[in-house]
Structure 1
Amino acid sequence: MTEVARAAATELDSGEPGGGQEVLDRLVGLLDLERIEENIFRGVSPSHSPVRVFGGQVAGQALVAAGRTVPAERAVHSLHAYFIRGGDPSVPIVYEVDRIRDGRSFTTRRVVAVQHGKAIFSLSASFQKAEHGIEHADPMPDVPRPETLPTLPERARGYPDVLGLRSRPRPIDLRYVNDPPWVTRETGERPARNQVWMRADGTLPDEPLLHVCVLTYASDMTLLDSPLARHGVYWDTDRVLGASLDHALWFHRPFRADEWFLYDTETPSASGARGLATGRFFAEDGTLIATVVQEGLLRVL
């Protein structure tokens, strides 16, 4: 284990609330995997993690593992993943990379995350060398600027148990455009759409794959807010059992994850104790940078 990763494992959930550069550096440390063999890597979780490993963490680490077997000039353009079992934060995660194909334009990798001898997560990712072609994109919704919106701790004022804000430092600065689900459940609103400004809470190194992995980490945050808010329930205020089932991301254009991006999500359907959510990421200048789809297990007791 690298020294940075070891420090990240012991300090990311150190019990101090808030965020900032120090907390972001710990996230970068978590993404700094140890290479065990040519195609085998090992990652760790924060020492004070919840019962299960955060899905965005294992997805980000798996993408790091895949990316470290691909030439730097080929950027990831899509990933498709399944969450198979809940991860155990008390033991390392081993990432096994299968080099599926190295073509003239595209590179394909498959990654399986293993704990206790069993697969907990699988990911397929495709990388492409830079090419020119046709261009178009949806416009960004008209929303207030992030600097004009309250921070997450300010939004949660009066709701001390929401999101574990008392004890969990956060590497992502997150600001709701609309009222968050723990508010709308009380006001009776049933919004089908959720909009949040996000950015890494500090400055990241100039490594494109790292920025993609940080956005992948952030993409598992607030995404299932949309189906829950539609029904007036929320994780920390109602009896909800939930987990990410699968996750797909398409990266359209270059971006920096330490600059503001808008996460615009909605829910087309919920059934069978599952909720589907779709999302679009826009850079602050309105550029569409990524699209995400996730289905989650949502059992409302």
Structure 2
Amino acid sequence: MKNAQELINLLHLEQLETHLFSGQSVTIGSAIVFGGQVLAQAVNAAYRTIPENRFLHSLHGYFLEAGDLTTDIQYHVEIIRNGGSFSTRRITAKQQEKTIFILAASFHQREEGFEHQALMNQDIKQPEDLLSWDEMLAQFGEFLPASTKSFLSIERPIAFKPVHIQNPLERQNLPPKEEVWFKLKGPIPEMTIQKKHQILTYISDYNVLNPIFKPNAKNYHFGNTMTASLDHSMWFFRDFDFDDWMLYSAESPNAFGARGLSRGNIFTRNGKLIASFAQEGLLRPLKK
């Protein structure tokens, strides 16, 4: 995938029956299906059964099995409740009768109320002062470890610019935080809020485990650790547009017992909080 439109096409599922949908997969550099893709396709399936005046406000998913890139994924939507203000859906994703993922999603009609929000970190470099993954590959590709170079070489519809870049050749322990600017590539088509939610869900699974590694980065990294997403949750707050860079800000409060927790917020460039997320991941050190 090279741009926003190709990502939209990937996330839009084929409808097989009233509550049954099918989707294909595209690799992001690993041998299994990217968790963010399954999350976002499940959101697409759920939205296809929701009245137009209700919008996703929260989702909670569990990754049960690794997805096969060569096999279509079928998403079955179960209507749990249609209340006066909220609608709830359960989505089950299967490949060849094996359940690989389950999602609970809740949708809410717009209402007025009071508000407050967390503040975005203002003391960080702006995207124009940072290198994207593509630029890092172009400038430093010949010096990077083979696994890092291979990962950065994959074409993606999103540009990522980490605020802090750790030298993979001189690893050091750092605070458990990660801040990354991101932006869709190519022309940005007009989007409904439903499509925006699907794309943001997809992006939210990138970079999410990074802050868990950082306090132990001297000894552990993606190259010597088995990693997997165990669950993923999101909460959606305000409408937004993909017309500028946005900030993905994550922190890890805990790692223990081969599991680590990451949580954080997603802001527009002007500091509007649009979503929060949390994920627990498996981080199992590989035996030598």
Q: Quickly say closer, same or farther: Cα 1:132–1:184, change in 2 above 3 A.
A: farther
Structure 1 stretches of at least 4 aligned residues deviating more than 3 Å after TM superposition? 47-50
The reply to whether residue 32 of structure 1 matches residue 17 of structure 2 is: no
1:91-149: CA deviation from partner (whole Å, max 9, x where unpaired): 10000000111111111111000111011000011111110001000111012221221
The reply to whether residue 94 of structure 1 matches residue 74 of structure 2 is: yes
Please give the alpha-carbon distance, in whole angstroms, between the structure 2 residues aligned to 1:109 and 1:67: 9
The reply to whether residue 119 of structure 1 matches residue 99 of structure 2 is: yes
Question: What is the CA-CA distance between 1:259 and the residue it aligns to?
Answer: 2.9
Question: What is the CA-CA distance between 1:187 and the residue it aligns to?
Answer: 4.5
**Which ranges of structure 1 fall in alignment gaps of 5 or more residues?**
1-11, 13-18
Alignment partner, residue 108 of structure 2: 128
Using structure 2 for the length normalisation, give the TM-score. Answer: 0.91
Question: What is the CA-CA distance between 1:256 and the residue it aligns to?
Answer: 2.0
* Secondary structure in 2 matching 1:186: coil
Q: Quickly say closer, same or farther: Cα 1:131–1:274, change in 2 above 3 A.
A: same
Using structure 1 for the length normalisation, give the TM-score. Answer: 0.87
Please give the alpha-carbon distance, in whole angstroms, between the structure 2 residues aligned to 1:231 and 1:189: 5
Aligned runs of 1:33-182 on 2, under 5 Å?
A: 33-46=13-26, 50-142=30-122, 143-156=124-137, 157=140, 158-159=143-144, 161-162=147-148, 164-165=150-151, 167-180=153-166
Alignment partner, residue 8 of structure 1: none
* 2:210 alignment partner AA: D
Equivalent pair of 2:29/2:154 in contact (CA under 8 Å):
no
* 2:158 alignment partner AA: I
Q: Quickly say closer, same or farther: Cα 1:128–1:268, change in 2 above 3 A.
A: same
**Which ranges of structure 2 fall in alignment gaps of 5 or more residues?**
none
Q: Quickly say closer, same or farther: Cα 1:241–1:187, change in 2 above 3 A.
A: closer
Alignment partner, residue 190 of structure 2: 205
* 1:243 alignment partner AA: A
Paired residues in the alignment total: 277
* Secondary structure in 2 matching 1:226: helix
Alignment partner, residue 274 of structure 2: 289
Alignment partner, residue 196 of structure 1: 180
**Aligned Cα RMSD in Å?**
1.7
Question: What is the CA-CA distance between 1:176 and the residue it aligns to?
Answer: 0.4
Alignment partner, residue 228 of structure 1: 213
* 1:286 alignment partner AA: G
* Secondary structure in 1 matching 2:40: helix
Equivalent pair of 1:266/1:278 in contact (CA under 8 Å):
yes
Q: Quickly say closer, same or farther: Cα 1:257–1:46, change in 2 above 3 A.
A: same
Alignment partner, residue 3 of structure 1: none
Equivalent pair of 1:67/1:209 in contact (CA under 8 Å):
yes
Equivalent pair of 2:27/2:34 in contact (CA under 8 Å):
no
Please give the alpha-carbon distance, in whole angstroms, between the structure 2 residues aligned to 1:155 and 1:39: 43
Question: What is the CA-CA distance between 1:72 and the residue it aligns to?
Answer: 1.7
Identity of aligned residues (%): 40
Question: What is the CA-CA distance between 1:153 and the residue it aligns to?
Answer: 2.5
Equivalent pair of 1:49/1:89 in contact (CA under 8 Å):
no
